[in-house]
């Protein structure tokens, strides 16, 4: 892949179990606090830990958009209200025009929980779903992108990217292409995925969820902790707004495993290919990357495969960690959440250590860090991989 034109990450916000908005998120990362708790979600009876965002159920949507009401869009609304993000979007619309801003949102399950609930309330005779149940504005993958474009009154192209746990990393690729093509000038990119029974029971059925808080790269790691999150960024062409402290998207690299639907390539060949493609797109060498925010889910096979892929490109010295011990695996929102965490790490000059991990697996050769490290960071790479063997690596860095 040829080098790409860097794009400005003009503003960003995130809401997850470690913080509603960037200030508490940063504080949690600095203090190495986890948001994982034992699962008491809805009627779920699984011995596992989850990363639940407080206040989602209480969040209300604007009256005119009530048809979109579901947990996923409530989480989107809650997150959009943080860090003045709605004003940021309005300001961008004034500068670029509403038709010149696209919306690209990653999600894996959107508001499928509405359908799960509707199936419990079927008509006992006809089997029909409740009359009040709306499919298109809640369950459908596009519902969250449609909600956000209407909420922000944006009129450019809009799409949901839904490739499992790589979804909201891949939105950066789709938005980058559309901006560079000239069809739009800016993009609201992000990811929203909320807790639901499908993923909690689904990962449990695959024996991929841990009873304990997940411990990425630990010798005793035994699965993921599912979390929920919404994270957004405004991506635009660099302008006079950019200065030395601005965060840029330097590279996007994508690949497929061509291996298995739910297991990563054992040697991490797809992951390696995505990281190399991101480096090529950014015109950077492996030594230019100061820190890697790993996909690091905490399953035995994922961490092994990713460690091999990382080491094969970066060797055993580039510091890396997974922040999923803090946030849980937020699935389709993980790419955008970890893009925000990467941007916070660059802006505040620290590498977030991987919490929950006590003894690093000695067979994993990547340089995993458990404690926070203060260091000026110029370039950070963030990995997101998903079911179906879909991989995406992003590189962020300082403009100056």
The three-point CA angle 198-199-202 to 5° equals: 80
Minimum CB distance to other proteins smaller for 81 or for 201: 201
Instruction: Give the chain's radius of gyration (CA, Å).
Output: 20
Residue closer to other proteins, measured from CB, 29 or 113: 113
Residue 27 CB, shortest distance to other proteins, in Å, is 34
- Are 318 and 381 in contact by the 8 Å Cβ rule? The answer is no
Residues paired with 394 in a beta bridge: 252, 382
With CA atoms as reference, report the closest residue to 323 among 298, 291, 353, 299.
353
Pairing assessment for the beta strands 49-51 and 37-38 based on DSSP bridges: antiparallel
Q: What are the strands, taking DSSP E only, across the chain?
A: 7-16, 19-20, 37-38, 49-51, 101-106, 158-161, 186-193, 226-227, 229-236, 247-256, 291-293, 319-321, 350-351, 367-368, 373-374, 379-386, 390-398
Min. distance of Cβ 251 from other proteins in angstroms?
Answer: 13
Contacts of 362 (CB under 8 A, 6+ apart): 219
Q: How far apart are CB 90 and other proteins at their closest, in Å? A: 17
3-state secondary structure of 277: helix
Question: Active site includes 165?
Answer: yes
CB closer to other proteins out of 233 and 281 = 281
**Residue number, 205 or 317, with CB nearest to other proteins:** 205
Q: Shortest distance, CB of residue 172 to other proteins, whole angstroms?
A: 12
Q: Catalytic pick from 139, 250, 265, 329?
A: 329
Alpha carbon separation from 258 to 1, 56, 102, 249 (Å, rounded): 19, 37, 31, 27
Distance of closest approach, residue 167 Cβ to other proteins, in angstroms: 8
Q: State the Cα–Cα distance between residues 105 and 62, nearest whole angstrom.
A: 20
Toward other proteins, which CB reaches closer, 159 or 360?
159
Active site residue 329: yes
CB 249 within 8 A of CB 342: no
CA distance 277 to 176: 15
Name the residue with tokens 């990713």. 306
The catalytic position among 152, 165, 320, 392 is 165
Q: Return residues touching other proteins (CB under 8 A).
A: 1-2, 45, 99, 108, 112, 115-116, 118-120, 122, 127-129, 133-136, 140-143, 145-146, 155, 157-164, 170, 173-174, 177-178, 180-183, 197-198, 201-207, 254-262, 269-270, 273, 277, 386-390
- Shortest approach of other proteins to residue 391 CB, angstroms? 8
Does residue 70 carry a catalytic annotation? no
Catalytic residue among 49, 139, 250, 295: 295
The residues annotated as belonging to the active site are 165, 295, 329
């Amino acid at each position: 892949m040829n080098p790409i034109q860097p794009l400005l990450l003009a503003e960003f916000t995130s809401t997850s179990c470690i913080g509603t908005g960037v200030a508490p998120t940063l504080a949690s990362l600095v203090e190495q606090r986890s948001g994982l708790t034992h699962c008491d979600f809805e009627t779920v009876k699984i011995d596992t830990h989850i990363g639940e965002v407080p206040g989602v159920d209480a969040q209300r949507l604007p009256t005119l958009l009530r048809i979109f009401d579901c947990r996923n869009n409530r989480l989107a609304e809650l997150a959009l209200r943080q860090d003045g993000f709605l004003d940021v979007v309005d300001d961008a619309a004034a500068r670029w025009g509403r038709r010149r801003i696209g919306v690209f949102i990653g999600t894996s399950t959107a508001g499928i929980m509405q359908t799960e609930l509707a199936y419990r309330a079927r008509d006992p005779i006809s089997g029909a779903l409740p009359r009040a149940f709306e499919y298109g504005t809640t369950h459908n993958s596009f519902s969250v992108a449609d909600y956000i474009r209407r909420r922000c009154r944006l009129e450019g192209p809009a799409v949901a990217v839904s490739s499992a746990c790589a979804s909201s990393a891949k939105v950066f690729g789709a938005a980058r292409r559309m901006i560079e093509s000239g069809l739009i000038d800016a993009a609201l990119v992000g990811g929203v995925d909320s807790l639901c029974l499908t993923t909690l029971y689904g990962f449990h059925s695959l024996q991929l969820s841990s009873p304990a808080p997940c411990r990425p790269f630990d010798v005793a790691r035994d699965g993921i902790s599912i979390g929920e999150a919404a994270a957004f960024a405004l991506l635009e062409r660099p302008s006079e707004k950019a200065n030395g402290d601005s965060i840029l998207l330097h590279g996007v690299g994508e690949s497929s495993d061509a291996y298995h639907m739910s297991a990563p390539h054992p040697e991490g060949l797809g992951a390696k290919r995505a990281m190399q493609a991101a480096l090529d797109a950014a015109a950077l060498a492996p030594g230019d990357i100061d820190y890697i925010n790993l996909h690091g889910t905490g399953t035995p096979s994922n961490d092994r495969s990713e460690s091999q892929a990382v080491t094969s490109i970066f060797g055993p010295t580039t510091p890396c960690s997974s922040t999923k011990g803090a946030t849980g695996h937020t699935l389709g929102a993980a790419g955008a959440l970890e893009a925000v965490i990467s941007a916070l790490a660059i802006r505040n000059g620290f590498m977030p250590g991987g919490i929950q991990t006590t003894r690093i697996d000695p067979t994993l050769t990547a340089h995993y860090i458990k404690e926070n490290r203060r260091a000026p960071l110029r370039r950070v790479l963030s990995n997101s991989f998903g079911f179906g063997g879909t991989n995406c690596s992003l590189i962020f860095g300082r403009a100056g």
